[in-house]
Amino acid sequence: MLHAPITFTDDDFHGLDHQQDDPMVITVDIESYAIKKVLIDQGNSIDILYWATYQKLQLPNIAMVPYDEPIYGFFGEKVSTRGYIDLHTIFRDGTQTKIIPIQFLVVDASTSYNVLLGRPSLNTLGVVVSTPHLAMKFPSPSGDILTIHGNQRLARECYMANLRPHLSIL
């Protein structure tokens, strides 16, 4: 299906401060819950659901496929995994939505984010991200272009919370 071209203009920026280098942080719906603090990470090759978030969703353990091979972080630190789980995830632009299945790796790590969406889900969604606009656009099932804006205030809160343990080394 053909869709309109995806473009960004100054009107697409809905943040607090135009002079920014903030991460893209959005809200999505997973299993009837609005999940805030979802980091859009185009550099990541997996989609991650953090263990603390998984526990709050109260999903049945039977839905998770066990996987206990560690992954390694940016600084080479070993991060424990719990398993994989397939969840339908809803991306919302006003009343329009796009639902895609996402296979999340459940990771036991301390972070201020609840979910990290990497290239697998972003490519499935057909997303184009504009970090200067803190916005992402993608085609809806009907061919319309949907827009999700990042939450700059939440992005800054998460960023600062993630820096705190590392500030002591400066």
Q: What CATH number corresponds to the domain at position 27?
A: 2.40.70.10
Query: In the prediction, which pLDDT does 40 show?
Result: 97
Within 8 A by CB and 6+ apart from 149, the residues are 12, 14, 15, 26, 134, 135
Q: Rounded CA gap, 147 and 4, in Å?
A: 13
Query: In the prediction, which pLDDT does 161 show?
Result: 87
* 85 inside domain: yes
Beta bridge partners of 29: 34, 90
* 4 inside domain: no
Taking the chain, what is the end-to-end CA distance rounded to the nearest angstrom?
52
* 1 inside domain: no
Give the single-character DSSP code of 144: P
Averaged pLDDT of the chain: 89
pLDDT at 6 over 90: yes
* 11 inside domain: no
* 121 inside domain: yes
* 10 inside domain: no
Q: Whose structure tokens read 């200067």?
A: 132
* 161 inside domain: yes
* 31 inside domain: yes
Residues 84-124 pLDDT 10s:
999 999 999 999 999 999 999 999 988 999 999 999 999 99
pLDDT at 2 over 80: no
Among 157, 154, 135, smallest CA distance to 18 is for 135
Query: In the prediction, which pLDDT does 168 show?
Result: 45
Centre a 10 Å sphere on the Cβ of residue 64 and count the other Cβ atoms it contains. Answer: 17
Task: Return the percentage of the chain with pLDDT > 90, whole number.
Answer: 67
Query: In the prediction, which pLDDT does 1 show?
Result: 57
Number of domain units in the chain = 1
Q: Rounded CA gap, 77 and 142, in Å?
A: 43
For strands 115-117 and 33-40, give the pairing.
parallel
Q: What is the span of the domain harbouring residue 105?
A: 19-165
Of the two residues 169 and 57, the one the predictor is more confident about is 57
**pLDDT grade, residue 35 (50/70/90)?**
very high
